[in-house]
Amino acid sequence: MPQDADTAASGLNFGLSAEQEMIASTVRSFVEQEIYPHEAEVERTGHVPPELGNAIKQKCIDLGFYACNFPEEVGGAGLSHMDFTLVERELGRGSMALTHFFGRPQNILMACEGDQRDKYLLPAVRGDKMDALAMTEPDAGSDVRGMKCQARRDGGDWVINGSKHFISGAEHADFFIVFVATGEDDTPRGPKKRITCFLVDRGHPGFEVREGYNSVSHKGYKNYILTFDDCRLPDAQVLGAVDGGFDVMNEWLYATRLTVAAFCVGRARRCFDHALHYAAERKQFGQQIAKFQGISFQIADMITEIDAADWMTLSGAWRLDQGLPANREIASAKLYASEMLARVTDTTLQIFGGMGLMDDFPIERFWRDARVERIWDGTSEIQRHIISRDLFRPLGA
């Protein structure tokens, strides 16, 4: 049974267990040995060779970490929210284009029922198939209910028309988890879209996947555009309940916001290590620049912010494991960690000076990559809205 806040707080442990330390250490070593050596080439070409992606996936499977976010009864490692957040934190140190193959299928596949389990859920957990999630549209990013991609009933089938964009992982996906509008209700606050989730196979008639935009962030981790032109699907392709897409979506959003927060902490720690060692080695005016308060105080501020973001993120994961409300706490972690990463990468670049902008170092890449974290999976403004509404709603404001 979920605990109340006072009871749960009494059991709060600020240290990691030996098993959790091992999880973090194992994933960190994997990233350093299997991801770091390939990052420069992926950054240069903007592409991950299929054989490299498959090799990373197989090594992850052999390590026993593939689909570690899924319960043991379906073949996953059954990690807790806290344990999985540690995994994501360490993966955050590496290139997203490469760590994508350290497979973490979408948790919402647990909503699969009947034949869907054998066709989608279990192959995704085994690594036989890869998924991609499709929600965002040109006119429906933060405003999910503004989506125009819609499905209408036609006999016993659904017919989908419209498009999605900014779809990550589509290059390697065998199937897609797609949210579309399936109706509209009149409410006191105006029309409200009903949303349904569908499972759509690559190559299905009426469904096309094409390359999207050229982003300056996360080279090689490409985005794609999906188009639906009278794409006909049977009821068997509905994931969850018809018009119940928001229930499925909200569970997914919890996980992704924590993932972004954890990623930002991991990337910030890697960036900070560069700043720390550079400041200790770089000399100006006859001494290491670390001896100047203008630099040393920045280093102190950075590690303080990183640690704070880390604890906020782990606290959100811990609350989920305790069955406690965590919407505001997770939104706060995503907001603070993504904003923190922007400050840390910018300060690190300033410490490196002109060399920070050269591709001899990964600093300029960290700086570019950090910018998108405040946008995707809920902008900073959306997180502030979630936080403020959670505080004001009990007061009737």
Q: What is the DSSP string of 219-243?
A: TTS-EEEEEEEEEEEEGGGEESSTT
Please report how the helices 363-370 and 245-281 are oriented relative to each other, as an axis angle in degrees rounded to 10.
150
Residue 247 pLDDT greater than 90, yes or no: no
CA distance 122 to 240: 16
DSSP for 29-45 reads HHIIIIIHHHHHHHHHH
Give pLDDT tens digits for 223-246. 999 999 999 999 999 999 999 887
CA distance 231 to 253: 26
Q: What is Dmax (Cα atoms) for the chain?
A: 81
pLDDT of 12: 58
Mean pLDDT of 278-303: 96
Which residue carries 């300029």 as its tokens? 364
* Alpha carbon 260 to its chain's center: 5
Mean pLDDT of 103-119: 95
pLDDT of 14: 67
pTM: 0.92
Single-letter code of the amino acid located at 101 = F
pLDDT of 79: 95
Give pLDDT tens digits for 5-46. 444 444 556 688 999 999 999 999 999 999 999 999 999 999
Q: Which residues contact 367 (CB under 8 A, 6 or more apart)?
A: 345, 346, 348, 349, 356
CATH 1.10.540.10 domain position(s) in the chain: 18-104
- What is the β-pairing status of strands 190-201 and 238-239? antiparallel
Give pLDDT tens digits for 61-85. 999 999 999 999 999 999 999 999 9
Instruction: Give domain 131-243's CATH architecture.
Output: Beta Barrel (2.40)
Single-letter code of the amino acid located at 206 = G
CA distance 288 to 7: 50
| Statement: 247-395 belongs to CATH 2.40.30.10 | no
Tell me which residue of 139, 147, 211, 212 sits closest to 178, measured CA to CA.
147
CATH 2.40.110.10 domain position(s) in the chain: 131-243
What's the mean pLDDT when you consider all of the chain? 93
CATH 1.20.140.10 domain position(s) in the chain: 247-395
Please report how the helices 327-352 and 380-392 are oriented relative to each other, as an axis angle in degrees rounded to 10.
140
Give pLDDT tens digits for 163-188. 999 999 999 999 999 999 999 888 88
Superfamily holding 18-104: Acyl-CoA dehydrogenase/oxidase, N-terminal domain (1.10.540.10)
pLDDT of 3: 47
Give pLDDT tens digits for 328-376. 999 999 999 999 999 999 999 999 999 999 999 999 999 999 999 999 9
Q: How much of the chain, in percent, has pLDDT values that exceed 90?
A: 85
